[in-house]
Amino acid sequence: MTDPGGKFRFKPLFIDGIHVAYGKAGVLSDVSMEILPGRITCLLGANGAGKSTLIRAVLGLTPPRQGSIAFDGMDITGAPTHAIVGKGIACIPEGRRIFPKMSAQENLLMGAFQERSKELIRARLEKVYGLFPRLAERRAQLAGTMSGGEQAMVSIGRGLMSAPKLLIIDEPSLGLSPALVNENFRIIRRICEEGTAVFLVEQNVRQTLAIAHYGYVLSQGRVVAGGLPAELKENEQVRKAYFG
Amino acid sequence: MDLLLQYCLNGLMLGMMYALVAVGFTLFFGVLDVIVFSHGDTVMIGSFAGLATYWWLHSTYPGLPAGWAVLLVLLAAAATVALLGIIVADAMIVPLRKGPALNTLLATMMLGTVLRESIRLFFPDGSNPQTFPALLPGWSWRGGNLILRFDNLVLFCGGALIIFLVHMIINRTRLGMAIRAVAQDEEAARIMGVNFRFVVLATFALGSAVAAFAGVMNGMYYSEINFSVGLLLGAIGFSAAVIGGLGNIYGAILGGFIFAFLQTIGAVAIPFASAYKDVFAFGAVILIMAWRPTGLIAEPSSQRV
């Protein structure tokens, strides 16, 4: 595999035996995963299985009670979110979470909040506008007044603005038309091909397994399966949960 | 006619002062969803810090030109109160966010009392009103019965400059972008790499420093300050922020001028008892709130910053 930007050369995200709880209720118990560079790793699981909690733990929003998380060779367990982001992790959160009172362009600039170099920011803006020409036309429009599809573009573009080593994408298809969902999967594959590792949380199992290199299945706060997409398709738990 | 114009000039002056106080209320609400009831007393601390600085300057450098004295008094007051704001936010308001919002409300009310009583007990002769020095030359321009004081003009322009600076910080700087992001979606802002704690502390420093300017302005305008001046100023600033729509900076500024305008109408309409001007103004605020519960220029979804 060629590696012009050197991005494949980071050490993976290691999640090692984490337990996460809100109050007294345990949500994740003994979850371990490896998200490797150059790959799309997907996370499957029913609603309430703990997928969002896992992402919150990785981002430092809900630190784990036990276990550890390491990224690129550094322990990030319990680190503040902005420090974790500074290590090269970005997230396209569930529900898009755009800043409604900011213009599309300001939203994109927020994605590169920790980047100080004006040239780099300008270059990335141009890249995102190349990916989504529609955003270029509407760069001055308040994001809150855009259509759902356009807001999805803002959210994806914003996630790319920091040129992350690892991009976490949480339920990108939610509420989008089938055409836009297909477009999304095409873009996710392209992001990975350009050197960013992707950790993809999706409900859309068939399409997800079609583009993923590896996958985990979460059920009731535990990892019940992990493997190559072909293996997961044959897995009893996955079949029962998704393929009927 | 001259009298009416005079009232309007005084009203503009007061409006600027109220706007500066209201900006703090609305900034804090924007980033943390809290009402900081002690903010009026922060203004009062600003006046006293300014006064203490003046005393020190006066005894150490008696011949200091007026311009320098004003500038140093303002800077010292702003720095003192900004530091106070940072400490209060970090030690009290951020930790209290884990509990119900009412706790913050109560805690900041109590903090206000602590600040007031501390000045009353520990400031030299703090229980009596203190004369606030005229830091600027007492030039004035007279036209008929109309008097335009030079120092008021300077204070008004200074206030306008401060508001312009706040506007520039919020809209043109990286910190301002972070403040707006946190106000619109705190968690999304964190995910973008914003250092939440830093943004909160910077916001409190900014809002408090602006309040210090209002405090010094208040002292110079009335030539007198006392330990309880923050109670009324706080109530007015909070009302102004609510009239404009909490969380909206331009609404708070507008609200400050509206409140002063209402007071002026009250004073003109009830000339025999000018003390009723506050009763009139607060009564009108209640009516405005009943008519527009989310503020005059807020959108239905409660606009932020």
* Closest chain A CA to residue B184: A99
Residue contact A93–B304, C-beta within 8 A: no
pLDDT at A242 over 80: no
DSSP bridge pairs for A170: A201
Range with the largest mean pLDDT of B2-11, B139-148, B277-286: B277-286
Sorted by where each starts, the structural domains of chain B and their CATH numbers stand as 2-125+153-291 (1.10.3470)
User: What confidence score (pLDDT) does residue B303 get?
Assistant: 46
Tell me the C-alpha distance between B304 and B185, whole Å: 10
Residue contact A101–B305, C-beta within 8 A: yes
Residue contact B184–A99, C-beta within 8 A: yes
Which residues of chain B does A110 touch, with a Cβ-Cβ cutoff of 8 Å?
Answer: 177, 181, 189, 192
- The residue type at B7: Y
Mean pLDDT of A189-206: 92
With CA atoms as reference, report the closest residue to A202 among A45, A27, A35. Answer: A45
Banded model confidence at residue B231, pLDDT cuts 50, 70, 90: very high
Which residues of chain B does A98 touch, with a Cβ-Cβ cutoff of 8 Å?
Answer: 188
Burial class (CB in 10 A: 0-12, 13-18, 19+), A27: buried
Sorted by where each starts, the structural domains of chain A and their CATH numbers stand as 14-88+165-173+197-244 (3.40.50.300), 90-163 (no CATH)
Q: How far is CA A227 from CA A45, A214, B114, in A?
A: 14, 6, 62
Mutate to test the interface with A, among B191, B196, B301, B303 (most CBs of A within 10 A): B191
Q: Kindly report, residue by residue over A213-234, the tens digit of the pLDDT.
A: 999 999 889 999 999 999 998 8
Which residues of chain B does A151 touch, with a Cβ-Cβ cutoff of 8 Å?
Answer: none
* Closest chain B CA to residue A86: B193
- What residue has token string 């320098």? B68
Which residues of chain A does B191 touch, with a Cβ-Cβ cutoff of 8 Å?
Answer: 59, 61, 81, 85, 90-91, 93, 97
* Closest chain B CA to residue A160: B192
* Closest chain A CA to residue B305: A101
The closest CB to that of B181, out of A86, A90, A99, belongs to: A99
User: What confidence score (pLDDT) does residue A72 get?
Assistant: 93
Percent of chain A whose pLDDT exceeds 90: 79
Q: Would the CA dihedral through B297, B303, B304, B305 be positive or negative?
A: negative
Q: Kindly report, residue by residue over A6-19, the tens digit of the pLDDT.
A: 555 678 899 999 99
C-beta separation of A41 from A197 below 8 A = yes
Mutate to test the interface with B, among A81, A92, A155, A168 (most CBs of B within 10 A): A81
Residue contact B184–A162, C-beta within 8 A: no
Q: Kindly report, residue by residue over B218-228, the tens digit of the pLDDT.
A: 999 999 999 99
Q: Does B303 touch chain A (CB under 8 A)?
A: yes
DSSP bridge pairs for A16: A68
Count CB neighbours of B223 within 10 A: 10
Mutate to test the interface with A, among B170, B192, B297, B304 (most CBs of A within 10 A): B192
Residue contact B303–A101, C-beta within 8 A: yes
C-beta separation of A165 from A88 below 8 A = yes
C-beta separation of A58 from A14 below 8 A = no
C-beta separation of A52 from A94 below 8 A = yes
How far apart are the CA of A37 and the nearest CA of chain B, in angstroms? 21
User: What confidence score (pLDDT) does residue B87 get?
Assistant: 98
User: What confidence score (pLDDT) does residue A1 get?
Assistant: 44
With CA atoms as reference, report the closest residue to B93 among B82, B80, B105. Answer: B105
Banded model confidence at residue B299, pLDDT cuts 50, 70, 90: low
Instruction: Report the first-to-last Cα separation within chain B, whole angstroms.
Output: 39
Residue B131 DSSP one-character state = E
Q: Does B202 touch chain A (CB under 8 A)?
A: no
C-beta separation of B256 from B20 below 8 A = yes
Backbone angles phi, psi at B34, to 5 degrees: -125, 150
Mean pLDDT of B132-139: 89
Q: Does B142 touch chain A (CB under 8 A)?
A: no
Percent of chain A whose pLDDT exceeds 70: 94
The closest CB to that of A85, out of B184, B193, B197, belongs to: B193
* Closest chain B CA to residue A56: B191
Residue contact A97–B181, C-beta within 8 A: no
Banded model confidence at residue B65, pLDDT cuts 50, 70, 90: confident
Separation of CA A194 from chain center: 15
Residue contact B177–A158, C-beta within 8 A: no
The closest CB to that of A59, out of B191, B196, B303, belongs to: B191
Banded model confidence at residue B294, pLDDT cuts 50, 70, 90: confident
Predicted complex ipTM exceeds 0.90: yes
Mean pLDDT of B182-209: 97
pLDDT at B302 over 50: no
- The residue type at A210: A
